[in-house]
Amino acid sequence: MAEQVVPTKGNLLTTKKYLGLSTLGFDLLDRKRNILVRELMQRIDEARELKGQVREIFDEAYRALQQANITLGVIEPLAERLPVAGGIEISYRSVMGVELPGVTLREHIPDPAYSLLDTNSRLDYAYCCFMQVRALSGRLAEVENSIYRLTSAIKKTQRRANALKNIIIPRFEDNVKFITDSLEEKEREEFSRLKVLKKNRG
């Protein structure tokens, strides 16, 4: 049902303008949603692949660690000598106004933290495996955070598009119809009145 608007030509022009802007806004929101959904689908596929890789490399890393423990005894004192890995940089890029994170791990060759005489290649292999886990985990964190942000943005965009499509645009369309009908009715009445006046004068 149309709002109670004064049926004037000025209001008709204004309402038509708002209707055009609302329709354009809906089209833009619909395009934005489609782009975000496409981006989300790519990230979901990537996350699925990364999770599989992380699981495999974690299994391999723990097997290697177990082998190192078997051959060297408990290696906890050696592990405590290893430096805490840093070098994580987080940047952001915007996709349709959504800030998506980018995680970069600086590659560095660490100084030996344990004596080569006291260890063997199995410990080195375990260390390399866990460095791979670190790199893949950083990438997975980036992708999963992007998925969360994209999902949130898609829901927000969908709500706005639905409000335009189901509430705002129909309201303006009803107002345009009401004003147009009222103005046409006034014109018909005016035409009839003029006809009667002409007839009476004649």
Q: 0.95 cut: is pTM over it?
A: no
- The pLDDT tens digits of the residues spanning 164-187 come to 999 999 999 999 999 999 888 888
- The pLDDT tens digits of the residues spanning 100-156 come to 888 887 766 666 666 666 677 787 788 888 888 888 888 899 999 999 999 999 999
- The pLDDT tens digits of the residues spanning 26-73 come to 999 999 999 999 999 999 999 999 999 999 998 998 898 888 878 877
Q: Specify whether the CB–CB gap between 156 and 91 falls below 8 A.
A: no
- Helix (H) or strand (E) holding 105, with range, is strand 98-105
